[in-house]
Amino acid sequence: MENDVAVAEDDRVWVRGWFPLLFSLSCVVNRCKLDVRTRALTVLFEIVKTYGDSFSPHWWKDLFKILFRIFDNMKLPEQYTEKAEW
C-alpha cells in the first residue's frame, strides 16, 4: 500500500486493477492452448469495448503496448513462438 503513495488516486484503478488484468489476459493469449487463447482474446476485447471509454488517454498508451505485444508475437516464425497452434 505504501507504494501507492506515488501513484495518483485516479491511476490506482489502472495500476492495481485494469493493467494487471489486461496484462494477464495478454500472457494467456501468448502462452496457452488455442481454445484458451481465443477465449482470453475475446474477453480482453470485450473489456476494451465495454470499459474503454472510461480509460484515460495515458492508460490507452499502456493498453496499446499490451495489444501490440500480442500481435507482434504473431509475426514471429513458428519455431520461435511458444505455441505454434495459431
Q: How confident is the model over 14-70, as pLDDT tens digits?
A: 999 999 999 999 999 999 999 999 999 999 999 999 999 999 999 999 999 999 998
Report how far residue 73's alpha carbon sits from residue 79's, in angstroms, rounded to the nearest whole number: 12
Residue ranges of domains in the chain: 2-80
Under the banding of pLDDT at 50, 70 and 90, the label for residue 76 is low
- In angstroms, the CA 70 to CA 22 distance is 11
pLDDT at 10: 80
pTM as predicted = 0.75
